[in-house]
Amino acid sequence: MASSSIEKERRPTRVLDGSRVAVEIKREVAETVTLLNRVYGVSPRLAVVRIGDDQASEVYVRNKVRTSAEVGIMSEHFALPATTTIDELLNLITSLNNREEVDGILVQLPLPGGMDSARVLEAIDPAKDVDGFHPINVGRLAQGQLALVPCTPAGIIELLVREGIEIEGARACVVGRSHIVGRPVAALLLQRNATVTICHSFTRDLSSATSQADILIAAIGRPAFIRGSHIKPGAIVVDVGMNKVTDEGAARALFNREEVERRVETIRKRGYTLIGDVHPAEASEVAGALTPVPGGVGPLTVAMLMRNTVDACRCRRGLEEGKGRK
């Protein structure tokens, strides 16, 4: 019998649809907001602060404000000029801390050059820290206590759980050790009893670590850095990266033939297409499941911000289930 007749065909790589899961989460948040208003007469409120005229930050903030309206969360947008001093910003944060009706405070990063982001983030009331960046929330997460958790890591866990991915007992590898994604997602995986390895730019023989992982999370900020040789056959791959590709030739080398023409057309129309930290064509030949870019992790971040705002509202007011998230 020919070997081809006895070898099992490899199953197509499953797409982990973050956009679909984000819609589910936002629907649940909207239902909760309606319940809070009807039963307790409470409307969660989010304050978003943006400094300067960075175009990417403007787009992110506009998306957050629009999504707040979609789910029924009241929002306020403070667009401050680039000339704003740190004392002026801290005074605004203090006033928002003191306003009882404000449940969540978000200061859009990055801040203008020279402004101490750590000092700014530490000024936010931890109970209103819906980004989950305050040292108190970071410490609570590290100790396995209830806390407001950074939105992207929380969204990754939601995606894995809702897609039926077994975390308990799995070998997980996180490539990237940032305070925004890498470290908190590692802590969340540990809480769910995964065996976790964190890799970074100083890791020797990276592929020896990543290729053992049942769950591989790439959050290193380098386009197409994770190649097929880094991935264990059948592994779950979560691509957190968001990078622009402007060259058509580069796009043809990165995407498989089913995808490449659409991506090239996007470059011609928009000037760029988006790619993550994982080489999409190579990963699709090896991984068992893979998040797309765009449409994977990105939509979950805003959805989890909405849920954090509702959780902060409940917790601050001592309402049902208002005790934060793990």
CATH number at residue 164: 3.40.50.720
Tell me: do 196 and 109 sit in the same domain. no
Tell me: do 155 and 293 sit in the same domain. yes
Structure tokens at 19: 């956009």
Q: How does the average pLDDT of the chain come out, rounded?
A: 93
Tell me: do 286 and 189 sit in the same domain. yes
Provide φ and ψ at 220, rounded to 5°.
-105, -15
* Domain contains 303: no
| Segment 105-135, tens digit of pLDDT | 999 999 988 899 999 999 999 999 999 999 9
Of 92-101, 174-183, 317-326, which range is least confident?
317-326
Tell me: do 129 and 182 sit in the same domain. no
| pLDDT level of residue 326 (50, 70, 90 thresholds) | very low
Q: Rounded to whole angstroms, how far apart are CA atoms 216 and 253?
A: 23
Tell me: do 291 and 175 sit in the same domain. yes
Structure tokens at 275: 């790619």
Per-residue confidence (pLDDT) for residue 10, from 0 to 100: 60
* Domain contains 27: no
| pLDDT level of residue 314 (50, 70, 90 thresholds) | very high
Tell me: do 280 and 195 sit in the same domain. yes
Domain that holds residue 234: 151-241+276-297
* Domain contains 261: no
Is 184 a residue whose pLDDT tops 80? yes
| Segment 261-303, tens digit of pLDDT | 999 999 999 999 999 999 999 999 999 999 999 999 999 999 9
Q: Rounded to whole angstroms, how far apart are CA atoms 214 and 195?
A: 10
Residue where one domain finishes, among candidates 80, 99, 134: 134
Is 5 a residue whose pLDDT tops 50? no
Tell me: do 204 and 165 sit in the same domain. yes
- Please tell me whether residue 256 adopts helix, strand or coil conformation: coil
Tell me: do 120 and 174 sit in the same domain. no
- Please tell me whether residue 147 adopts helix, strand or coil conformation: strand
Tell me: do 156 and 212 sit in the same domain. yes
Bridge partners (DSSP) of residue 237 are 216, 290
Q: Is the pTM of this model over 0.85?
A: yes
Per-residue confidence (pLDDT) for residue 6, from 0 to 100: 36
Tell me: do 124 and 173 sit in the same domain. no
DSSP element (H, E) containing 224: none
Per-residue confidence (pLDDT) for residue 3, from 0 to 100: 39
Is 323 a residue whose pLDDT tops 50? no
For tokens 């995808």, name the residue.
259
The region that residue 72 occupies, defined by phi over 0 for left and psi between -120 and 50 for alpha, beta otherwise, is left
* Contacts of residue 184, Cβ cutoff 8 Å, sequence gap at least 6: 132, 138, 141, 149, 150, 153
The region that residue 78 occupies, defined by phi over 0 for left and psi between -120 and 50 for alpha, beta otherwise, is beta
Tell me: do 155 and 287 sit in the same domain. yes
* Bigger pLDDT: 54 vs 301: 301
Task: Calculate what percentage of the chain has a pLDDT beyond 90.
Answer: 90
Tell me: do 73 and 193 sit in the same domain. no
Q: Rounded to whole angstroms, how far apart are CA atoms 110 and 75?
A: 21
Which residues are marked as active site?
64, 108, 131
For position 58, which CATH number holds? 3.40.50.10860
